Chains A and B, each alone.
Chain A
């Protein structure tokens, strides 16, 4: 798969403060790419560089095979974390203005906006002022003006903050739909559960460095602990030649196979004495990986 966006050795300093040292990410075309990292890691700076809001001190950004240029603005949609709208302006007028700033003509912008407003069932808000809307309603408008110009790359910074669960689900559905149509999506968030649900690739930035980059599957494999969780119907399990017990609590056991022992052997050894209700391979959650990677770095 070809990469739509490659960030190579990007460095950005603000005076004495280094926001990014050697940031490297490659975002495959059509992927949903999670950009993770603790607060102050440099995610926002990286997104601002991709959006040409700030320029990197060194390093390069390749977009769709060519170095990032001014005209690429029309092919990128950005929903920043610090987002808002003009409060005193009418919804429709404002959406038209923002769409035109992205380079759309008045008429196409109008057509596309009508389509999206109908799709999200908010056409009746067209002549309302933004200050009359609730926060969640305003976020919907924000989402529309981000995607309205049908960019090749969409960048969402904490897209679900400010949404109630129902509207968050609607927006998630729309994002997945856009991804299915081939739009590449970069996703920055602290909410690990939504990363696992949505993303197929992730990069982890910590202290202005990229410390992890790959598909979720690969990363999970990399962080696998190779432990199993067993729940018995009451009988006790004893350590034997096949496995060690890592922890136990009532009927819940966590075991780790000894080198070269198969699962079949382990199960057979346990079943001799007790009945097993559940047996499951433990995979680390993204949250655990996140904490582990940040602490190790």
Chain B
């Protein structure tokens, strides 16, 4: 037991002290914070007022919007602008000839500007046509209806709660993706570690002191701790950076006036309502479980692959069958979210190779306890099975050099 700790410690420290780990750990949350901050930041910046010239003989009554301002100019002036725009103060010229609309400018016209003009023009022409057919606009307006359905979930203990599909989808999607990324990243990290030990020829030196299985498990657990460390640091740093950035970039006065205490409590209430039907504690615990168990199962397989080859370039043929179920579960995230209680969803959350990702996608929508329990039991059994299987390949593979290994060969190793 003492020795496996030494191995875990080494595997952990070596990776945590690597420059790439430190950079990734810092860069990750910066990117995440940027994703949260930049849109808010940009929204607070007053946009320049874009003035669009309109030739005066076109009788379209275009309305000014927040950023787009229309002004009419004499046709003669418009004709000059069409050939020489450089001296003009306008953003663009909208030239209207019958039902032909053209935007002239000396710069790339932003998509949002052209889209908004298109929309306005469409609406004006549509209304014209409707009038022509004798349909009263008032009637049309009265006829348009908008309905919001409130869905309620009756749980096993008889409580009803509002179900929030959007929040469920968000949580399910993010946790599914996170598990997918982590299994991939850290699984291949284990594989590379095994290959490194093999190519540097240190492996035989070490297994004259510890059992191959101890070395393999020590590596897998050490890397798991690296993954957890990075995950926790990412969450902490994201929170810290985005808080600091908000304070730094956004005008404090604006914040203070716009967000008085009643607003804040309203937001909290909204968050509460959004996630009301979702058992956050259950999701958190399940996330940790599926994250660890899924990683442990896959990384044992990755370790077996690493032991069977001499160089990373040779891993392809063995990595492929391992990654197929993982990629499949990634691709199934969207269809499963659309039908989280379907047959496909059920089976994919039972099969241990897809369950870590798929169950996390399903959980926010509510999953029967027996299903969750069964999925967990199957995953644990699969983890023990793959570790045993991987261990047998590993102990033979790490001592084999210069041999192109086939599946048949791997099968024989299982029986040694």
* B 312-334 binary contact with A (CB < 8 Å = 1; else 0): 00000000000000000000000
* B 195-207 binary contact with A (CB < 8 Å = 1; else 0): 0110011101111
Task: Assess the A87–B209 pair: CB atoms within 8 A.
Answer: no
Contacts of A85 in B (CB 8 A): 200, 202, 205
B6 interface residue (CB < 8 Å to A): yes
- 8 A Cβ contacts from A140-155 to B: 142, 145
Task: Assess the A101–B204 pair: CB atoms within 8 A.
Answer: no
Contacts of A279 in B (CB 8 A): none
- 8 A Cβ contacts from A60-102 to B: 73, 76, 78-80, 82-89, 97-98, 100-102
B401 interface residue (CB < 8 Å to A): yes
Compute how far the CA of A48 lies from the CA of B203 in the bound complex, rounded to whole angstroms.
Answer: 13
Compute how far the CA of A80 lies from the CA of B206 in the bound complex, rounded to whole angstroms.
Answer: 10
B399 interface residue (CB < 8 Å to A): yes
CB distance from B152 to the nearest CB of A (A): 58
Residue of A nearest to B197 (CB): A86
Task: Assess the A84–B200 pair: CB atoms within 8 A.
Answer: yes
Task: Assess the A51–B208 pair: CB atoms within 8 A.
Answer: yes
Number of B interface residues at 8 Å Cβ cutoff, please give it: 23
Specify which of A14, A84, A86, A98 is in contact with B209 (CB 8 Å cutoff): A98
Contacts of A48 in B (CB 8 A): 399
Task: Assess the A101–B206 pair: CB atoms within 8 A.
Answer: yes
Task: Assess the A97–B205 pair: CB atoms within 8 A.
Answer: no
What is the interface of chain B, defined by CB distance below 8 A to chain A?
Answer: 3, 6-7, 10, 14, 196-197, 200-202, 204-210, 212, 399, 401, 412, 415-416
Residue of A nearest to B212 (CB): A53
A15 interface residue (CB < 8 Å to B): yes
Interface of A is mostly: loop
Q: Which of B205, B209, B412: most chain A CB closer than 10 A? A: B209
Task: Assess the A82–B206 pair: CB atoms within 8 A.
Answer: no
Residue of B nearest to A85 (CB): B202
Task: Assess the B202–A84 pair: CB atoms within 8 A.
Answer: yes
Compute how far the CA of A85 lies from the CA of B412 in the bound complex, rounded to whole angstroms.
Answer: 29
CB distance from A124 to the nearest CB of B (A): 22
Residue of B nearest to A78 (CB): B208
Contacts of B206 in A (CB 8 A): 98, 101
Task: Assess the B6–A80 pair: CB atoms within 8 A.
Answer: no
Can you name 5 A-B residue pairings with CB atoms under 8 Å? A14-B416, A53-B207, A73-B209, A98-B205, A101-B209
Q: List 9 extra interface pairs beyond A15-B416, A82-B201, A101-B3, CB under 8 A.
A: A48-B399, A52-B208, A53-B204, A78-B205, A80-B204, A80-B208, A82-B204, A97-B10, A101-B206
Contacts of B209 in A (CB 8 A): 73, 98, 101-103
Specify which of B3, B7, B205 is in contact with A145 (CB 8 Å cutoff): B205
Contacts of A98 in B (CB 8 A): 205-206, 209
Compute how far the CA of A83 lies from the CA of B196 in the bound complex, rounded to whole angstroms.
Answer: 13
Compute how far the CA of A145 lies from the CA of B412 in the bound complex, rounded to whole angstroms.
Answer: 34
Task: Assess the B201–A83 pair: CB atoms within 8 A.
Answer: yes
CB distance from B184 to the nearest CB of A (A): 23
Contacts of A53 in B (CB 8 A): 204, 207-208, 212, 399
Residue of A nearest to B215 (CB): A101
Residue of B nearest to A97 (CB): B10
Residue of A nearest to B5 (CB): A100
Contacts of B212 in A (CB 8 A): 53
CB distance from B310 to the nearest CB of A (A): 12
What is the interface of chain A, defined by CB distance below 8 A to chain B?
Answer: 14-15, 48, 51-53, 73, 76, 78-80, 82-89, 97-98, 100-103, 142, 145
Residue of B nearest to A155 (CB): B208
CB distance from B38 to the nearest CB of A (A): 37
Compute how far the CA of A179 lies from the CA of B201 in the bound complex, rounded to whole angstroms.
Answer: 27
Compute how far the CA of A145 lies from the CA of B204 in the bound complex, rounded to whole angstroms.
Answer: 13
Contacts of A76 in B (CB 8 A): 208
Contacts of A97 in B (CB 8 A): 6, 10
Residue of B nearest to A146 (CB): B205
CB distance from A77 to the nearest CB of B (A): 8
Task: Assess the A83–B204 pair: CB atoms within 8 A.
Answer: yes
Task: Assess the B205–A84 pair: CB atoms within 8 A.
Answer: yes
CB distance from A266 to the nearest CB of B (A): 54
Residue of A nearest to B3 (CB): A101
Contacts of A82 in B (CB 8 A): 201, 204, 401
Contacts of A101 in B (CB 8 A): 3, 6-7, 206, 209-210
Task: Assess the B208–A83 pair: CB atoms within 8 A.
Answer: no
Contacts of B207 in A (CB 8 A): 53
Contacts of B401 in A (CB 8 A): 82
Contacts of B201 in A (CB 8 A): 82-84
Compute how far the CA of A103 lies from the CA of B3 in the bound complex, rounded to whole angstroms.
Answer: 8
Compute how far the CA of A88 lies from the CA of B199 in the bound complex, rounded to whole angstroms.
Answer: 13
Contacts of B7 in A (CB 8 A): 101
Compute how far the CA of A5 lies from the CA of B66 in the bound complex, rounded to whole angstroms.
Answer: 92
Contacts of B415 in A (CB 8 A): 15
Compute how far the CA of A53 lies from the CA of B204 in the bound complex, rounded to whole angstroms.
Answer: 8
User: Which 5 pairs show the lowest CB-CB distances between chains A and B?
Assistant: A84-B201, A101-B209, A80-B204, A78-B208, A84-B200
Compute how far the CA of A97 lies from the CA of B197 in the bound complex, rounded to whole angstroms.
Answer: 15
CB distance from A24 to the nearest CB of B (A): 22
Compute how far the CA of A99 lies from the CA of B252 in the bound complex, rounded to whole angstroms.
Answer: 58
Q: Which of A15, A84, A103: most chain B CB closer than 10 A? A: A84
Task: Assess the A87–B200 pair: CB atoms within 8 A.
Answer: yes
CB distance from B2 to the nearest CB of A (A): 8
Residue of A nearest to B416 (CB): A14
CB distance from B411 to the nearest CB of A (A): 10
A14-B416, A85-B202, A89-B14 known; A73 vs B208 contact (CB < 8 Å): yes
Contacts of A88 in B (CB 8 A): 14
Residue of B nearest to A84 (CB): B201
Contacts of B204 in A (CB 8 A): 53, 80, 82-83
Contacts of A80 in B (CB 8 A): 204-205, 208
CB distance from B253 to the nearest CB of A (A): 52
Task: Assess the B416–A86 pair: CB atoms within 8 A.
Answer: no
CB distance from A173 to the nearest CB of B (A): 23
Compute how far the CA of A28 lies from the CA of B412 in the bound complex, rounded to whole angstroms.
Answer: 38
Task: Assess the B10–A83 pair: CB atoms within 8 A.
Answer: no
